[in-house]
Amino acid sequence: MNARNQRPEPPSGGATYRSTEYTSLLPWQVRERRFPPTGLGRRGLNPDDVYAFLDRVAGDMAAVYAALAESRRETARIKAGLRRWQTDEARARNERGQAR
């Protein structure tokens, strides 16, 4: 498989519950998808309409991926803050316990 078609690993190393056979579509895959033209005298889809729709879907997907990345950054920031707070609290408890 071409490296371009492989899904990058999540930076957080997060688990996914989907089958390894399933790969999510990425915006560039939607934008580059092309449909064969219809033959003369045959019914079919207007390619301009199809490509406009694909661009809209790709834009929506890009927005969702950006929001997901922002959510993951915010989650990491909150977890780091919580760990710092827990460490400070544990340290303060230990100091109070030793002062007795």
Q: If you write DSSP's letter for every residue of 8-42 in order, what string do you get?
A: PPPTT-----S-TT-----HHHHHH---PPPPTT-
C-alpha separations of 62 from 1, 24, 57 in Å: 23, 12, 9
Q: Is residue 14 part of a domain?
A: no
Measuring CA to CA, which residue among 25, 23, 34, 31 is closest to residue 58?
Answer: 31
pLDDT of residue 41: 73
State phi, psi for 37 to the nearest 5 degrees: -70, 155
Q: Is residue 13 part of a domain?
A: no
pLDDT of residue 44: 81
Q: Is residue 75 part of a domain?
A: yes
Q: Is residue 49 part of a domain?
A: yes
What domain range is 90 assigned to?
A: 22-35+43-99
Q: Is residue 30 part of a domain?
A: yes
State phi, psi for 83 to the nearest 5 degrees: -60, -40
pLDDT of residue 78: 98
Q: Is residue 55 part of a domain?
A: yes
Q: Is residue 9 part of a domain?
A: no
Q: How many domains does the chain have?
A: 1
The count of other CB atoms within 10 Å of the CB of residue 14 is 9
100 residues of the chain, pLDDT tens digit each: 444 444 455 444 444 455 667 677 788 888 888 877 777 777 788 888 888 888 888 888 898 999 999 999 999 999 999 999 999 999 999 988 876 5
Q: Is residue 7 part of a domain?
A: no
